[in-house]
Amino acid sequence: MAGDEIDAGELTSSGTFQDHYILGPHLGSGSFGLVYKCFLKTDPTRAFAVKTIKKTDSLSEEDIQSVYREIKILRCLESVNHVVQLKDFFDDKSYYMIVLELCQGGELFYRIINKTRYTEKDAAKIVREMLEVVGACHVKGVIHRDLKPENFLFSTEHECSELKIVDFGLSTFYTAGQVFDSLCGTPFYLAPEVLHKKYGSQSDVWSVGVIMFILLSGKPPFYGRANTKIFKMILRSQRHLEKHFETAVWSKVSAEAKDLIRCLLNPDPKIRFTPAQALAHPWVRADGCPPDMPLDITLLSKMREFREYSKVTKVVLRNLALTYSDEDIRDIREQFILMDKDNTGTISVEELLEAMQRASGPFGTNSKSRALSRREAQEWLKGMDYNGDGEIDYLEFTTAALRIRQRKKRDSIGWDHRIKLAFGRIDHDGNGYIDIAELRRELEAMGQEPGGIEEIVEQYDRNGDGYIDFSEFSELIRRLSSEASQAAPEGSIDRMDTG
């Protein structure tokens, strides 16, 4: 058995978790299992985090090995700076319980978006700590394989708090030159060689480069609603990266910062900087001088949107769409599929223009209408593109089409009633409010990470009562739908015969 690989006596206290700790509130989810706050029974003022993995029939032998591998890795990284520390481990009949140091300073992004002033110097300190801990892990023979902002927490709420890396559930030991072929990690942060299933420790450096890019611009460099879209961009990373650097937000970022990003995001892992090389770069060195001027004022709002907006948008739009039957939206679905020529799950400006040209051409369904110019197509797409990734996904397209249909009085059920139906789908207990538990349930049902729910509710809770009431929900859904539908040229969705 996998459990026999470790001497449990070295890792666990005698007895069970309940003998030593009091289970507290839910904190979030890791790569495997749920994370809770817990308190030491002998001294309840001492709090920790406990990662729980339930022993079910669906837990494979490989999953079990991963649990014990994580424990071994945490033991190996004891006393390493910027690594969350293992406190205890229990293996009982029903659960694996991993007790860890509690980081109370919050997620990396949450700390940043609540700052009143944010500079390159602030970002450089964060990147330096990331590179230090990644380098230390590599020296110990550990590759993390899932580096992302959510896996970096601040130890305390103090302004100068230490940044800690957490969740080693996908990590593994490696030897110099070892090559891995398992696809694991989070799409936005995957290196090209991971997609090719031939990678080593340098894939961690790429992930740090992606995080650095977000820290300086508010959005990831390779973005898409569908994984296939993200992967295509990653595999063409150099072209996309240089296009990003030509945009307005990057005009205020120093040349040194851009140079380091290029070195971290080099598609060739043999040329890509190692952690040690990156730490010697003038932008990130402790004695370096990254600019201390505030970055673009839109950066923090973009970062906040990237972190939170997509979650609540998906919940809202999904439940709005579910108030319609399959037959109600069959034509919209077929239209979207036909427009999405490259089958990425999104519609680009080029695909939008092509569809509109077919509709308005001499043999189109609306030959008397004028074809869209590229500028008009871009403006329409921008209005439907909630998070600014430059393309339209199915939910965005459906919402715009349905809102236009409502404006033209083609729906037998009024828009206000649709909103009530969508609200009722989320308000499971029918008390007239959407609370944290209900939003978490929706996100989990969609296979979404439920972390950060409290901040999501706070963002849309206008009256500060801790809930999203119907008026607040209506305001949100009207804004989403009106942004999309008002951007569309008159009659445009109606006239698109994409066959």
Catalytic residues: 146
301 Cβ contact list (under 8 Å, min separation 6): 218
3-state secondary structure of 265: coil
Question: Taking a C-beta distance cutoff of 8 angstroms, is the pair 334, 143 a contact?
Answer: no
55 labelled binding-site residue = yes
Among left, alpha and beta (phi > 0; psi -120 to 50; other), residue 79 is left
d(CA 247, CA 294): 18
Looking up tokens 């950066």 gives 299
Tokens of 22: 């009091």
Closest CA to 260 of 218, 197, 206: 206
d(CA 311, CA 447): 11
User: CA 53 → CA 28, 86, 95, distances in Å?
Assistant: 13, 16, 6
Side-chain-side CA neighbours of 266 within 13 Å: the count stands at 13
Q: How many other C-beta atoms lie within 10 A of the C-beta of residue 385?
A: 21
User: CA 3 → CA 71, 95, 385, 495, distances in Å?
Assistant: 11, 13, 48, 63
Closest CA to 308 of 412, 449, 145: 449
Side-chain-side CA neighbours of 438 within 13 Å: the count stands at 20
d(CA 352, CA 347): 7
Looking up tokens 């989403």 gives 480
d(CA 237, CA 129): 25
Question: Taking a C-beta distance cutoff of 8 angstroms, is the pair 30, 169 a contact?
Answer: yes
Phi, psi of 107 (to 5 degrees): -65, 155
d(CA 178, CA 164): 26
d(CA 27, CA 440): 12
Q: DSSP characters for 198-244?
A: -B-THHHHHHHHHHHHHHHHSS-SS--SSHHHHHHHHHTHHHHHHHH
Find the radius of gyration of the CA atoms of the chain.
Answer: 25
Count of all residues that appear for the chain in the document: 499
Residue stretches of the annotated binding site: 55
Residue stretches of the annotated binding site for ATP: 55
